[in-house]
Chains A and B, each alone.
Chain A
């Protein structure tokens, strides 16, 4: 079956701009989580959506937001970009249960200049 698809894979923005990233999980996976990965901070949890509802949220400012559609596809948006937002943004799909593996996409590499 198809894996997790994230688009775009690479993008460059300037400070103050906004960006939208997209994630399509594996068919049947209704939970989608987003993570920010940087060399200094590792994998930091942003938020998780299930059935179009944000179920969990990490400790990121309000500039980071997301949503999920009825087909489980998810988007995350970062407004008023800062240099420190440069990172690899990973999404992961999973099943409903509280245990079990996450299926990650290859990420969207964001560079803020």
Chain B
């Protein structure tokens, strides 16, 4: 979920488990959502996106769920691997805007 202080929320899982990372977005007018992954020492990397006319989208080992009623987005990672350890950001865009607004991020730690 979203952090309210200086420290990122952290999710610790065992290798092979499924991970669910949550994000509460702020703007009910947002119609496009993206998940990014940021590994240590690197810039954020696109994972998956979803438009507001969908409530679910699947990629390779990842699924994004969108609940517009409660303005909630989640990223599910199946069979989590140590290489999935990173900070995950959700981002939202309002239609016509070129600039996404990023959430605070969640740190995922995968234990072998």
Chain A residues in the interface with B (C-beta under 8 A):
4, 31, 33, 35, 39-40, 42-43, 45, 48, 50, 55-56, 90, 92, 94, 98-107
Q: Does B49 sit at the interface, judged by CB under 8 A?
A: yes
Instruction: Say yes or no: B99 contacts A104, CB within 8 Å.
Output: no
Chain B residues in the interface with A (C-beta under 8 A):
6-8, 32, 34, 36, 41-46, 49, 51, 89, 93, 95-105
Instruction: Say yes or no: B46 contacts A101, CB within 8 Å.
Output: yes
Instruction: Say yes or no: B43 contacts A4, CB within 8 Å.
Output: yes
Contacts of A56 in B (CB 8 A): 98-99
- A5: shortest Cβ distance to chain B, in Å? 11
Q: Which of A40, A42, A105 makes the CB contact (< 8 A) with B102? A: A42
- B48: shortest Cβ distance to chain A, in Å? 9
- A68: shortest Cβ distance to chain B, in Å? 14
Instruction: Say yes or no: A90 contacts B102, CB within 8 Å.
Output: no
Which residue of chain B has its CB nearest to the CB of A47?
B99
Instruction: Say yes or no: A107 contacts B6, CB within 8 Å.
Output: no
- A60: shortest Cβ distance to chain B, in Å? 13
Given contacts A42-B103, A104-B44, A105-B43, 12 further A-B contacts (CB under 8 A): A33-B99, A42-B102, A45-B99, A48-B99, A56-B99, A90-B44, A99-B51, A99-B93, A101-B46, A103-B46, A104-B45, A106-B43
Q: From known contacts A39-B6, A43-B89, infer whether A98 and B97 are also in contact, taking CB-CB under 8 Å.
A: yes
Instruction: Say yes or no: A90 contacts B99, CB within 8 Å.
Output: no
What is the CA–CA distance of A94 and B100 in the complex, to the nearest angstrom? 12
Contacts of B104 in A (CB 8 A): 42
What is the CA–CA distance of A99 and B104 in the complex, to the nearest angstrom? 21
What is the CA–CA distance of A94 and B7 in the complex, to the nearest angstrom? 30
Which residue of chain B has its CB nearest to the CB of A44?
B102
Which residue of chain B has its CB nearest to the CB of A42?
B104
Contacts of B98 in A (CB 8 A): 31, 33, 48, 50, 55-56, 94, 98
